[in-house]
Amino acid sequence: MVKLIIFMDTIALIGFFNGVPMNFKQLEVFLAVAESGSFSKGADATFITQSTVSQHISAMEKELGIRLLDRTAKGALLTAAGEILLIHARRVISEMRGIPVAISRFKGLEDAELTAGASNIPGSYMIPEVLPVLQQRFPGLALTILMGDSRDIVRKIETEEVELGIVGSRLADDALTFTPLGRDRIMLVVGRNHPWFSRTSADLDELRHQAFIIREQGSGTGKTVSEALAAVGIDPGGLNVKVSLGSNEGIKHAVAGGAGISFVSELSVRRELAQDELRAILIPGLEIARQFYLVSRAGREPSPAAAAFAGVMLEKFK
């Protein structure tokens, strides 16, 4: 029977909070009276008159349709319903009082999380380069990077899976803002076993007879290369493509192993070129470069974490 009464009282309280706008002051007054056991002490604790305290408590009891406090000679004593409300009131007031602290920590990046997106090259080479600076300036920032091709990252921004992203191509979308973030040179590379490894250049016509390794469809690098080749009269669809891979690391290993040649980001092959594992081949008349972009939803105020991340990236690469 007791369990049934408590269950019914809980239903009444849920109905109260769902059907009536939360009155923080009423809960604060109730808590002060319940914990002190006195209407007068409750009034002192909440800086209002005793009559106003009585009005607040009476209003709550009327809305709930049940008595919360028994007025006795020994003071204000909680009823069974009052005990239930006390549990919820403590929880609500604690959360409410914690809001300014949480927002302050959020604004100051003392306790902030950011999920951002990045296409292959920015995620593998640009972002890792700025991580020491981010960690030094904002030690309370927890950063998660989701990787994908440029189109995939744009979709994640549109669906709000990530707050902002870094991509290697600009798409026509008025709902997004694209902020230029540094440029990247794209070069043709060959492995040590390729006949061109001893050369420094090759003609455009020679490209037609080579086995190519390319990035997957949707890649910013692939889009830039296709546009550049078409501009000098070479049909990208006419190249002898042997392999299509989804990662830049995979392409580098394939080229180094002799599976073919490829156009890759200069950022991604600095170590391999320095160690003479790959050789860059100049193609006279063909210069390929592309712009990286910081992408965010247009008209949206960035979170402090997003603003801090974007600021460091722009400082390093713009």
For 216-265, write each residue's pLDDT tens digit: 776 777 888 888 989 988 888 888 888 888 788 889 999 999 999 999 99
Alpha carbons 118 and 127: distance in angstroms, whole number: 9
- State the pLDDT at residue 13: 41
Alpha-carbon dihedral sign for residues 281, 283, 287, 293: negative
Q: What are phi and psi of 103, to 5 degrees?
A: -65, -40
Please give the structure tokens belonging to residue 153: 């990252």
Residue 316 has pLDDT above 60, yes or no: yes
Assess whether 279 and 300 both reside in one domain.
Answer: no
Q: Which of 107, 125, 153 is the last residue of a domain?
A: 107
Q: CA-CA distance, 229 to 227, in Å (whole number)? A: 6
What mean pLDDT comes out for the span 91-118? Answer: 77
Span 180-209, mean pLDDT?
92
State residue 14's pLDDT score: 38
Q: What is the residue range of 44's domain?
A: 2-107
pLDDT above 70 for 290: yes
User: Where among 58, 89, 107 does a domain terminate?
Assistant: 107
Mean pLDDT of the chain: 85
Asked whether residue 282 falls in the same domain as residue 310, the answer is no
d(CA 296, CA 154): 9
Specify the pLDDT at position 247. 80
182 Rama class: left (phi>0) / alpha (psi -120 to 50) / beta:
left
pLDDT confidence of residue 16:
42
Query: Does the pLDDT at position 25 exceed 70?
Result: yes
DSSP assignment letter at 257: T
Closest by CA to 89, choosing from 52, 55, 64, is 64
Question: Could you give the CA distance from residue 63 to residue 204 in angstroms, rounded to a whole number?
Answer: 83
Among the ranges given (123-127, 236-240, 277-281), the one the predictor scored with the smallest mean pLDDT: 236-240
pTM for the full model? Answer: 0.61
* 202 & 286 share domain: yes
The pLDDT of residue 33: 92
pLDDT tens digit string along 156-191? Answer: 999 889 999 999 888 878 889 999 998 889 999 999
CA atoms of 106 and 303, how far apart (whole Å) = 9
Indicate if 211 and 271 belong to the same structural domain. yes
Instruction: Please identify which residue in the block is written with the tokens 């927002």.
Output: 103
Q: What is the CATH number of the domain that holds 228?
A: 3.40.190.10
Query: Please, which residues have CB within 8 angstroms of residue 201's CB and are 6 or more apart in sequence?
Result: 281, 282, 283, 284
Three-class secondary structure of residue 225 per DSSP: helix
The verdict on 73 and 135 lying in the same domain is: no
What is the phi/psi pair of residue 275, to 5°?
A: -90, 5
> Would you put residue 86 in left (φ > 0), alpha (ψ -120 to 50) or beta?
alpha
Rounded Cα distance, 295 and 81, in Å: 53
Specify the amino acid at residue 239: L
Helix axis angle for 2-19 and 80-107, nearest 10°, is 40
How many domains is the chain partitioned into structurally?
3
* Shared-domain flag, residues 96 and 118: no
pLDDT at 170: 85
Is the same domain home to 140 and 199? no
Residue 276 and residue 142 share a domain: no
pLDDT band at 74 (very low <50, low <70, confident <90, very high): confident
Kindly report the CATH number assigned to the domain that includes residue 74: 1.10.10.10
DSSP 8-state secondary structure symbol assigned to residue 245: E
Q: Does position 82 have pLDDT exceeding 70, yes or no? A: yes
